[in-house]
Chain A
Amino acid sequence: DAKTTQPNSMESNEEEPVHLPCNHSTISGTDYIHWYRQLPSQGPEYVIHGLTSNVNNRMASLAIAEDRKSSTLILHRATLRDAAVYYCILRVPGNQFYFGTGTSLTVIP
């Protein structure tokens, strides 16, 4: 399984930026880096994905290290609705997504 390492939990104040780190030192050249988030009792929600270049969308930004061994999900202004478990996942060629432990993000009002 492709492995990722994330901090178990992080806190952020509301309306401040949040940087969620992920290490994936065993990533191969064809593995995409995906981020999903999950609210309690719901299925995961797609956030963003990338291969080599930094990516931006309406939800977040993804900064990928030059050697691709780590990445950072950036939420520009955290809101209470962003409180969730965030999973950093490597998409393997068979399309399988193997989830790690994720980071539980708490947003403080």
Chain B
Amino acid sequence: GAVVSQHPSRVICKSGTSVKIECRSLDFQATTMFWYRQFPKKSLMLMATSNEGSKATYEQGVEKDKFLINHASLTLSTLTVTSAHPEDSSFYICSAVKAQGITEAFFGQGTRLTVV
């Protein structure tokens, strides 16, 4: 199966700083990637859809200036949490779909962000 890798898997940062999370499709090209966040014992909440070479589409209620998404290539999307606050602490997960044909999404292993 296809592999999606996130880095880092865990990160701790201080309030007010920014942190970048990378999502890579290792063995396929992904024109579309998605970013989710998940609170403890809750379901995944879609934050944004990231299309290669164009601006991300954010879900209602998600601050685009807070969560910067860049999808510069067919294998890499990044999520930057800017001016992080403790309430941004969460589990962030990316997923990717192959450019053509196959309809399932492949998920990264997630990134645990803790803002202190």
- B1 / chain A contacts, CB cutoff of 8 Å: 46
Instruction: Check if B107 sits within 8 Å of A99, measured CB to CB.
Output: no
Which of A's residues lie within 8 Å of B, judged by CB?
32, 34, 36, 38, 41-46, 49, 87, 91, 94-102
Looking at the assembled complex, report how far the CB atom of B32 sits from the nearest CB atom of chain A, in whole angstroms: 5
Of B44, B93, B109, which is in contact with the most chain A CB atoms at under 10 Å from its CB? B44
Q: Which residues of B contact A (CB under 8 A)?
A: 1, 4, 6, 32, 34, 36, 43-46, 49, 91, 93, 95, 97, 103-110, 112
Question: A91: shortest Cβ distance to chain B, in Å?
Answer: 6
Q: Which residue of A lies closest to B106 (CB)?
A: A46
CB nearest neighbor in B for A97:
B105
Q: How near does chain A come to B16, taking the closest CB pair, in angstroms?
A: 26
Contact A96 B49 (CB under 8 A): yes
Subset of 27 A-B contacts with CB under 8 Å: A32-B103, A34-B103, A34-B105, A36-B107, A38-B44, A41-B91, A42-B109, A43-B4, A43-B108, A43-B110, A44-B107, A45-B107, A46-B1, A46-B104, A46-B106, A49-B104, A87-B44, A95-B34, A95-B97, A95-B103, A95-B105, A96-B46, A96-B49, A97-B46, A97-B95, A99-B44, A99-B46
Give the distance to chain B from A14, nearest Cβ to Cβ, in Å: 24
Tell whether, in the assembled complex, residue B34 and residue A87 are in contact, meaning their CB atoms are under 8 Å apart.
no
| A44 touching B44, Cβ below 8 Å | yes
Q: How many angstroms from the CA of A34 to the CA of B4 in the assembled complex?
A: 18
Quick one: closest B residue to A43, CB to CB?
A: B107
Q: Is the CB of B110 within 8 A of A42?
A: yes
Contacts of A95 in B (CB 8 A): 32, 34, 49, 97, 103, 105
